[in-house]
Amino acid sequence: MASDARSALRSRVSVRLEATAGALGSTAADLLLIPCCEGESTLPGDAKPLSKPLAPLLADRLERGEFTGKANQLSLAEPRGVASAKRLLLVGLGKRTAVTAETIRQAMGKAAGQIKMLGVAHIATPLFGPGLGALTPSAAAQAQAEGLLLGLYDFNLYKTEAKPPVKSLTRATWVTSDKRLLPIVQGALEWGSIVADAAMLARDLGNHPSNIATPSNIAELARTLAAELKLRCTVMERAEMERLGMWALVGVARGSQEPPKLIMLEYKGGRAGEPPIALVGKTITFDTGGISLKPSENMEQMKDDMSGGAAVLAAIQAAARLKLPVNVIGFLPATENMPSGTAQKPGDIVKTLSGLTIEVINTDAEGRLILADALTYAARVKPKWLIDIATLTGACGVALGKHAIGLIGTAPKLVAALKEAGEATGERTWEMPLWEPYYDQIKSNVADVQNVGGRYGGVITAGAFLSKFVGDTPWAHLDIASTAWIDEPRPYTPKGVTGVGARLLIEFLSRQRGGGKAPPRSGKRASAGPKKRPRAKR
Ligand code: BES
Ligand code: MN
Ligand code: ZN
């Protein structure tokens, strides 16, 4: 079992998404999804023709208070001659004018939960829109695909028990009455499924335990991705880190039997010579705290301390599959943080690649140590933007709770772009200040800087620490410590690892216009240019 998982490190929801023109009522499927808006008898989007035939049923459910169309509400029904599908599933979208992509992802995710329970193999759904909020048909279709696929996700690679003999969903058909929309919808479905696949890769990586998702195995996966997608992958070993002087990264790895890796994955979709976007992801495959050992309660959750690195790998996979016209390089400093006779100790001083020295007051503040060297190294490629993403501080949960990613940066345009991408994906960010007085908290008596900043403003002092290692490079930092793991399921996210950051980074990259169009690729495939994001005027 373990070796199976090791060779894969990824599970897959495999559902064929297709678009067809026709009438919803006569579409054959095991289940037909019917979107409804609160307080309206007219059904939205391509469900509209069913408004009349379904009116008695809807009125009845409304009267009993069983189904009002409130967001994320579900209700099963018999088709009773209204539709050819075997069952109907009503799904609420709330008020029509308030519908966003996130509303749709959540409704589809909720529906996916029900679909999974019923063991349905083929569903049909109308295109939710146009006419919902400000959404274009393609935005609606993309959100539908993402919500459905992400809502179907389960991590069960290690369950050997036979599963209940239910069928799982293999096919989903989008039905639209407007033939001209077909290519747009099909393109949006494909886009959405690439995005969902990436987020699920990030979830898988976080969910795999640390005995499987080791630095070496993650490096192996990066090499596999590179081979599949024609990317360049380089893995730096400990000897090279030492030769270069990355003693902060090497210092964290000292307690572990697993060799550290600095994994680099490069996708070139932009012009040759165009500065890349550098993405640095914290990849601590397990964080015990080191000699500053963590308490044992909930320590198992520290297998997800590589969620930043997972988001970076996932985003690069998606960038390549979407053929985005950008150059991107991912950097994953990967190691365990373990206590042992060889582990670094509180009070140790390490020299970094940048030349600055760090006093390690607390070995549990290890993320910023490995990022210090990785950021300095990444800055050497002279990126247009430098972004790091990390499960960095417990303080992030205290400050922002579990619904916002902490955001700190030195480049207002970059920060603004990350905010926008967060709004669009539902992976929202909230900016914190990087003011000068915070730097006083990380002054060391004996070295250039110390790795902890005391009790107050932990997200910010961690960000201030990182900023010392990026030089003049326009940089932003994303703290996903409080959003990478949830204890209560959400509409399209089961409890456990969320894969947060993957969709945010993909959306950010897809909004980059770079210096121009990518050149036509050489080689056999004439269609190998960048994928155009499907967008209809309305
Ligand atoms: N990986 C943790 C941060 C974390 C904590 C993520 C809880 C998810 C849930 C990080 O390495 C860490 O231990 N940070 C310390 C820093 C402190 C010692 C300054 C923390 O937040 O307690
Ligand atoms: Mn730690
Ligand atoms: Zn950590």
Ligand 1 pocket test, pick from 364, 398, 479, 497 with the greatest ligand atom count within 8 Å of Cβ, gives 364
The per-residue pLDDT for range 136-174, each reduced to its tens digit, is 999 999 999 999 999 999 998 898 875 655 679 999 999
Q: Is the CB of 507 under 6 A from ligand 1?
A: no
For the CA of 453, the nearest atom of ligand 1: 19
Q: Is the CB of 364 under 6 A from ligand 1?
A: yes
Decide if 504 contacts 421 (C-beta within 8 A). yes
**Helices and strands counted in the chain (H then E):** 14, 20
- Joined together, the tokens standing for residue 398 give 């205290």
Cα angle vertex 517, ends 384, 280, to 5°?
A: 30
For the CA of 294, the nearest atom of ligand 1: 13
The per-residue pLDDT for range 303-327, each reduced to its tens digit, is 999 999 999 999 999 999 999 999 9
Under the banding of pLDDT at 50, 70 and 90, the label for residue 513 is confident
pLDDT at 514 over 70: no
pTM metric for this prediction: 0.95
Residues 6+ apart with CB under 8 A from 80: 57
CA of 338 to the centre of ligand 2 (A): 10
Percent of the chain with pLDDT over 90: 89
Across 511-538, average pLDDT: 53
The pLDDT of residue 531 is 74
Across 59-76, average pLDDT: 97
Catalytic residues: 294, 368
Judged on CB neighbours under 10 Å (0-12, 13-18, 19+), 274 is: middle
The CA distance from 396 to 303, in Å, is 18
Q: Which ligand gives the minimal distance to the CA of 298? A: 1
pLDDT at 5 over 80: no
CA of 18 to the centre of ligand 1 (A): 44
The mean of the pLDDT values for the chain is 94
Ligand 1 pocket test, pick from 393, 396, 480 with the greatest ligand atom count within 8 Å of Cβ, gives 393
pLDDT at 536 over 50: yes
Q: What is the per-residue DSSP string for 245-274?
A: T-HHHHHHHTT-SSPPEEEEEEEE-S-TTP
